Amino acid sequence: MASLRNWRVRQALLAYALLMPAIIYFGLYFFYPIVVEFFASFFRGQPLIGDAQFAGLSNYVEAFTDARVRDAFIRTIIFGVSATILTLIPALGLAAILAGPIKGRNAIRAMIFFPYIISFVIVALMWKNILDPYSGILNNILISFNLPTQNWLSNPATALPAMIGIVVWKDIGYAMLIYIAAIQGIPENLYEAAELDGASRHQMFLEITVPLLVPTTLFLAVITTIGHLQDVSAPILLTGGGPADATRLFSLHVYETAFTELNIGYASALSFLMLLAILLITFLQFRLLNKQVRY
């Protein structure tokens, strides 16, 4: 009995020794910055690096009463939810098609996935040229069909939808490959049994494939939504937050508050509030999608 207990202790010590580098990494680069940010959020000015004055909860009160912060938050929720939905639904459809025995499917998969591995700097430069109101390819195509041209990134009505479309175009390939891997892991005998029962392909997709992909959908929904809610590269590189703040996302507002206005304490409060919002949204996603799947 003592030898068994000693063996378990050695196994536990070995496990913690192997996990220690990851624990130290997350402690230093994830949890410690959150604690520092929370501490800085109670000060005005430049806590930790310069002059600062204790402000108590005034930063949080100002955040809830600042119309610009409220508009940026609502805009960010619209951006994050829309981009996630418009990424996952087409990605599931593409995965259902490209998981089958289609000629040239590997080449098609590679072409769809390729934008995901490109730096967003290159993506932004490419799409700004495509959407240029005077020399862009897209407006030239509209002209050839006698359709009105658009100022895609300089019109408040079209700037945010255009930015969402660009982000979706870049990310859809990753979600597609994850869905393909999940589809290929579904037991083939389920489809064979459904086919014997007279189920159509459409019915098999809705009644077998989609329910069994719920864990995969949860994973993709969580990481995609978090990424979009924190996205600062898209508004900075595509529009600079304009026109008329139409694409000024919450992350960009925090960035400019901290590094342009040098009000790091207030920016820390805003960042902490966004962290809480992301945790709440993630919790809701788990409540909606975290279902037990058995087969």
Alpha helices in 58-158 (DSSP H): 58-65, 67-98, 105-113, 120-130, 137-144
**Percent of the chain's residues with pLDDT above 90:** 54
Q: Model's pTM, two decimal places? A: 0.88
Amino acid present at 44: R
CB-based contacts of 8: which residues, under 8 Å, 6+ apart?
none
Band (pLDDT 50/70/90 cuts) for residue 69 is very high
**Percent of the chain's residues with pLDDT above 70:** 97
**Under a CB-based contact definition with an 8 Å cutoff, are residues 244 and 227 in contact?**
no
CATH class name, domain 69-289: mainly alpha
What's the whole-number mean pLDDT along residues 110-124? 94
**Whole-angstrom distance, CA of residue 240 vs CA of residue 193:** 55
**HEC profile of 42-55:** CEEECCCCCCEEEC
**Under a CB-based contact definition with an 8 Å cutoff, are residues 52 and 43 in contact?**
yes
Residue 53: beta bridge partners?
44
